Every structure is written in structure tokens, then in C-alpha cells.
Amino acid sequence: MENNNNSQTNNLIIKRIAVFMFMFALSGTIAWFGSVFYNNQTDLMIRNVVMILAGTGIVIFSYIMSEVHGFFVYRNEGCYGRFTLTYLISLLVSVFLPFLPVTGWPFLVIFVLLGVFSNGITGLAAGSLCLLLAVNFAGCDYAVFWMYFISGMAGILVFATLDEEFKVGIPVIISLLILALSLTANVILFSQEKLSAARFMIPGINLMICCILLLVSLKMVSSIVIHRYRDRYMEINDPECPLLVQLKEFSKEEYYHAIHTAYLADKVARSLGIDDAAVKACGYYNRIGKLKGENTWENISSICDKYHFPPKTRQILQEYVDPDVKMVSKEAIVVLLADCIVSSVLYLFSKNPKAELNYEQLIDTVFKKEFETDELWGNEISLAQLCTMKKIFIQEKLYYDFLR
């Protein structure tokens, strides 16, 4: 088991190094190509290549640190290729943007996409490099840099605050308004020509194109990244899912235990604002390994592979079942406590179906027992969240009576 984990870790490290080496080398190549394309002198070419390589190194470092410390927005863990491709395409697009009027550069879209595929700091650093390259090749005033930098930074910040619903309407409006203000303050007001409707035409087209590109690209992000596993969760979280039907045929006791655990865990997860779909799935399937004999992680893992479980669900199940993996996620703790409470109630009712249980005392005992172990220490959940969980479990007194 340990050898398999080490092998997977080594493969992940090799993949990461290969992707980032490719990203580093190709970014320098793009800077060199742009310099040759615009007939830059040798000193300018060296400057462009060195600055882009140095900046790309900073972007890579920021991305790795974000992964290590969990600073990503949305679900970008391990998705090096997606970010690398977006970054390199953005650099290449920046090489050719000087052919467009300065007021028509769609850098708002570039900043937002780079931020959505990583996090605020990484996206801002990557977007700034792309903008710097375009400004250098266009030979324009650095007020242009500040104009798109400020609007891009605003775009990254407003989109980084979205929750799992990913409602983009207000962030799109805010980012476009800031872009419009930046274009007006930096370009239109300083124009030497007489103000006319024609002066606003290109900035207006830029705003319209940015709006369309943002809506289209964010729709793709929502489908590919944010809600990538929505349909799969709907299938596996259906009580009539074929896998749960197999569990019911195997053991009705295990099936109803899973149903009750999933209900309580889902209720708590929604209140805490964590991944309720993944928590519910883990409530259903934390004992599914018994279909193959013992409820080991090897058996559960093979079932996860066969039924294409989402990665987050696999991670939580492994934390919960595998004794060699530390339980750190909030989702795993929620499943643990829900499972313990259901197990305790079912056990007491099995001994005396007519027993009048003191649910508050029972739940308090479960929490104290878990605190005596190391399960509730050294993980992501806070004491305040544990107190909230405890209150929610106690509020479900009427539900526990259905477990008789």
C-alpha cells in the first residue's frame, strides 16, 4: 500500500516538473518569437526573453505554493495542464495584440481566465506578464499598462469571490464598468482629437467583445470546472442508483444505514457551506467495500474506479476508510460523526426498539468519544463548526425516531 502511494506521488511530481518545464521553455520561445517578429534589436530581444522567463518562474512558484497551502479558487488542484495551456495561449495572443488599437485589447478576459484557473495572485502575475509583452511590442505609453492592469485586477478579485453557484452576472457588470472607467480616464480624456461618438466606438466594441467572451468562456468554465461532476453526483446520489440497489440486495441493514448517514451528513454539510454533494456520496458509499468482502480502501477504490466517482469523493472516502491516511478534510469529519451517530442510534434500538433515548446526551457522548481520539485534532474543521454540527445533530431528534 505504501509503495503504491509513493509511486503515485512520484508520478505526480514527474508530471508537474514536465508540465512546468514545458511552460517555462515555451514562454521564453514565445517572447523570442515576438521579438524577432517585430524586428527588435538584440538587447531588446534579450530583455524580453529574460523578463518573461523570470516572470514565468514567479508564476510557476506562485502556482506551486498555492497548491501546497490550498489557496486555489474553485477546483484547480492538480490541473497544471489547463493553466499552462491558458497561460501560453494568452502570451501568444499578446504578441499579436499590437495589431489592434490599444483601446481594443481584451485583457480583461485574459486576466479573469488566468485567475479562475489558478487564484488571485497567480492570475494577476500571469496576466501582468502577458500585458507587459503586448505593451513592449506596441511601444505604447505605460498608462496603457496601468489601465488594463487595474481593470484586470478588479476582474480577478470579483470573480474570486464567487461560490459554487458561480453566478457571474454582477461580477461581469462590475468588471466591465471598471474597464469602461479605465478606458475613459486613460485614453479618451487624453485624446488630442475633438471628442465625438467615433472616439467611443472602439472602446465600446472592446467592452461588447469582452462581455461576450467573458460570458462564453465562463460558461465553459462552469461546465468543465465548477460543475464538471454535477451530473455524476446526481446519478450516484440517487437512492435508486444501481450500486445502492446492489447494496440493498446484499444487506438491507447496510443500505438503510447508508441512507441515514447520507441524510444527516448532507444536512450538516449544507449548513457549514462545504461540498454537500461529495459528503452525501460518502455517506452513501463509505461501506460499499463490503460488496467485495471486507470494507477496505482497496475494495472501495476499485468500486470508485468502476463507477467513475468524482475525485473529491474518492479523496474523502480514502481519508475515512484508509488507516494509513490522516483524516483532515471537513467533509470526512462530517461523514465520520454522522456515521457514528447513526451507528449508535441503530445499535441501541436493535437492543430495545421501544427505548426512549436521550439523543442530546447520546450525541454529546459521541463527540466526547471522538475528541478522546486524534480524529478531531489536526484537521481543517474549527471548534465553532464542530459546535454548529452538534446543534444540527441535536435538532434532528424527530428523525432519529424513524430509525427504530
Kindly report the number of other CB atoms within 10 A of residue 243's CB atom. Answer: 18
Residue 209 in this model has a pLDDT that exceeds 90: no
Residue 76 in this model has a pLDDT that exceeds 70: no
Residue 157 in this model has a pLDDT that exceeds 70: yes
User: Which triple of cell numbers denotes residue 212?
Assistant: 461576450
User: Which triple of cell numbers denotes residue 84?
Assistant: 499552462
pLDDT in the model for residue 89: 95
d(CA 107, CA 168): 18
Number of H helices, E strands in the chain: 18, 0
The CA-based angle 143-148-154, given to 5 degrees, is: 125
Long-range contacts: 95-102, Cβ < 8 Å, 24+? 95/30, 95/33, 95/34, 95/37, 95/133, 95/134, 95/137, 97/134, 97/138, 98/38, 98/134, 98/137, 98/138, 98/139, 101/202, 102/138, 102/140, 102/144, 102/187
State the pLDDT confidence band at 118, using cuts at 50, 70 and 90.
confident
Helix 252-272 vs helix 276-285: angle between axes, to the nearest 10 degrees? Answer: 160
State the pLDDT confidence band at 134, using cuts at 50, 70 and 90.
very high
Q: Are 280 and 314 in contact (CB under 8 A)?
A: no
Q: Which one-letter DSSP state was computed for residue 296?
A: -
Listed range (51-65, 265-279, 280-294, 374-388) with the worst mean pLDDT? 374-388
d(CA 308, CA 82): 21
Helices (H), 70-189: 80-96, 107-116, 120-138, 142-160, 169-183
Q: Are 289 and 321 in contact (CB under 8 A)?
A: yes
| Sign of the dihedral defined by the CA atoms of residues 186, 189, 190, 193, in that order | positive
pLDDT in the model for residue 265: 92
Residue 372 in this model has a pLDDT that exceeds 80: no
Residue 391 in this model has a pLDDT that exceeds 60: yes
User: Which triple of cell numbers denotes residue 385?
Assistant: 463548526
d(CA 317, CA 279): 9
The helix/strand/coil state of 79 is coil
What mean pLDDT is reported for the chain? 84
Specify the higher pLDDT residue, 2 or 232: 232
Residue 322 in this model has a pLDDT that exceeds 70: yes
pTM assigned to the model = 0.64
pLDDT in the model for residue 2: 44
Mean pLDDT computed over 280-291? 92
pLDDT in the model for residue 226: 65
In the chain, pLDDT over 70 holds for what percent of residues?
87
Listed range (114-118, 240-244, 380-384) with the worst mean pLDDT? 380-384
Specify the higher pLDDT residue, 187 or 271: 271
Specify the higher pLDDT residue, 166 or 124: 124
Kindly report the number of other CB atoms within 10 A of residue 379's CB atom. Answer: 16
Listed range (143-147, 160-164, 270-274) with the worst mean pLDDT? 160-164
Q: Which amino acid, one-letter code, is at 398?
A: L
d(CA 232, CA 293): 26
Specify the higher pLDDT residue, 77 or 370: 370
Specify the higher pLDDT residue, 6 or 210: 210
Mean pLDDT computed over 40-53? 92
pLDDT in the model for residue 5: 45
Specify the higher pLDDT residue, 341 or 143: 341
Residue 27 in this model has a pLDDT that exceeds 70: yes
pLDDT in the model for residue 213: 85
User: Which triple of cell numbers denotes residue 201?
Assistant: 466606438
Residue 321 in this model has a pLDDT that exceeds 50: yes
State the pLDDT confidence band at 110, using cuts at 50, 70 and 90.
very high
Helix 359-372 vs helix 383-395: angle between axes, to the nearest 10 degrees? Answer: 150
pLDDT in the model for residue 194: 60
pLDDT in the model for residue 1: 45
d(CA 318, CA 286): 9
Listed range (8-12, 134-138, 278-282, 285-289) with the worst mean pLDDT? 8-12
Q: How many residues does the chain have?
A: 404
In the chain, pLDDT over 90 holds for what percent of residues?
28
Q: Which one-letter DSSP state was computed for residue 226?
A: I
pLDDT in the model for residue 147: 86
Q: Which amino acid, one-letter code, is at 311?
A: P
Q: Which amino acid, one-letter code, is at 205?
A: I
Residue 233 in this model has a pLDDT that exceeds 60: yes
pLDDT in the model for residue 159: 80
pLDDT in the model for residue 165: 62
Mean pLDDT computed over 286-299? 90
